[in-house]
Amino acid sequence: MNKNNAVIGGALRTRGSLFGLIGLAIVWLASPLGCGPSDPLADVKAMHAAREYEASLELLRDLIETQPENAEVFYLYGVALSNGRLFTQAVWPLLRAMEDPEWYPVASLRLADVAVSTTDWNMALGVLDRFIEAEPENVKALLLRAYARAQSRQNYEGALEDADEALAQDPINSQALVLRGVALLGLDRIEEAAEVIELAGEHFDTEGLGLADAPRFCAVRAVFAKEKGELEAAEEIFEECLADYPTNLEVVEESMDFFDSIGRPERSSEIIRIAYEDLPSFRSYRSSLVYRLYTEGKIDEAEEILLAATLDPQPEAAASAFGDLAGHYFQFEKFQESVAAFEQAYALVVDPRPEFLFVYADALIVAEQYEKALELAEEMTVKPHQELIRGRVSLAQGRPAAALEYFERGLLLWPENAIARYLAATAAEQIGDFDRSIEELRYSIRADSAATDARFRLARLYAASGQPALGLVVIRHDAHSDQNRSSAETLLEIELMGRVGSTDGLSPHIMEVLGSPQAWARGVAAMAAGVREAKGSQEAADIVLDSTNLDLTSPVHAAALSSLVTDLVPLGRGSEVLSRTESALSLHPQASALYAVRGQALTLTGADRKEIRAAWARALELNPGNAKALRGLAGLEVADGEADAALALYRRAALAEPEDGEALGGAAKVLIAEGRFREAQLELERLLERDPYDGVAALQLAELLLKDKADSARLRTRALLRKAERFGGGPEASRLLSAPIEPEAVQAL
The total number of residues shown for the chain amounts to: 749
pLDDT score of 261: 86
pLDDT score of 226: 84
pLDDT score of 201: 65
Consecutive sets of 10 residues in the chain, 749 residues long: mean pLDDT of each?
A: 43 37 33 43 84 85 86 91 85 90 93 88 91 91 91 86 90 82 83 76 51 71 81 91 90 91 90 93 90 89 95 88 93 93 89 85 94 94 91 93 94 89 94 95 91 93 95 88 80 95 81 85 95 96 93 94 96 95 95 96 95 96 94 96 96 90 95 94 94 94 81 80 92 84 41
Residue 408: inside a domain, yes or no? no
Q: How far is CA 367 from the centre of its chain?
A: 20
pLDDT score of 382: 86
User: CATH no. for residue 285?
Assistant: 1.25.40.10
Residue 726: inside a domain, yes or no? yes
Residue 725: inside a domain, yes or no? yes
pLDDT score of 748: 35
User: How many angstroms separate the CA atoms of 400 and 438, rounded?
Assistant: 16
The domain containing residue 709 runs over which residues?
694-749
Which domain-ending residue is among 265, 296, 327?
296
CB 574 within 8 A of CB 605: yes
DSSP assignment of 316-375 equals HHHHHHHHHHHHHHHHTT-HHHHHHHHHHHHHT-SB--HHHHHHHHHHHHHTT-HHHHHH
User: How many angstroms separate the CA atoms of 437 and 419, rounded?
Assistant: 13
State how far the alpha carbon of 609 is from the alpha carbons of 579, 604, 606, 632, 720, in Å. 18, 11, 8, 11, 38
User: How many angstroms separate the CA atoms of 507 and 480, rounded?
Assistant: 9
* Long-range contacts of the stretch 283-286 (C-beta < 8 A, 24+): 283/85, 283/86, 283/87, 283/88, 283/118, 283/317, 283/320, 283/324, 284/87, 284/117, 284/118, 284/119, 284/249, 285/247, 285/252, 286/324
Task: Identify which of 80, 24, 75, 73 has the alpha carbon closest to the alpha carbon of residue 53.
Answer: 80
pLDDT score of 14: 36
Cβ neighbours, 10 Å, residue 747: 8
User: How many angstroms separate the CA atoms of 222 and 241, rounded?
Assistant: 8
Residue 185: inside a domain, yes or no? no
Residue 707: inside a domain, yes or no? yes
Task: Identify which of 713, 721, 699, 720 has the alpha carbon closest to the alpha carbon of residue 742.
Answer: 713
User: How many angstroms separate the CA atoms of 420 and 664, rounded?
Assistant: 30
Q: Is 492 exposed, middle or buried (0-12, 13-18, 19+ CB in 10 A)?
A: buried
CB 348 within 8 A of CB 318: yes
DSSP class of residue 31? B
Which domain-ending residue is among 296, 328, 348?
296
Structurally, how many domains does the chain consist of? 2
Q: Side chain identity at 711, as an amino acid letter?
A: D
CA torsion through residues 591, 592, 597, 602, sign = positive
Residue 720: inside a domain, yes or no? yes
Task: Identify which of 322, 320, 310 has the alpha carbon closest to the alpha carbon of residue 87.
Answer: 320
User: How many angstroms separate the CA atoms of 454 and 486, rounded?
Assistant: 13
Residue 358: inside a domain, yes or no? no
pLDDT score of 709: 62
Q: Is the pTM of this model over 0.75?
A: no
Residue 264: inside a domain, yes or no? yes
Residues 6 or more apart whose CB falls under 8 angstroms from that of 579 comprise none
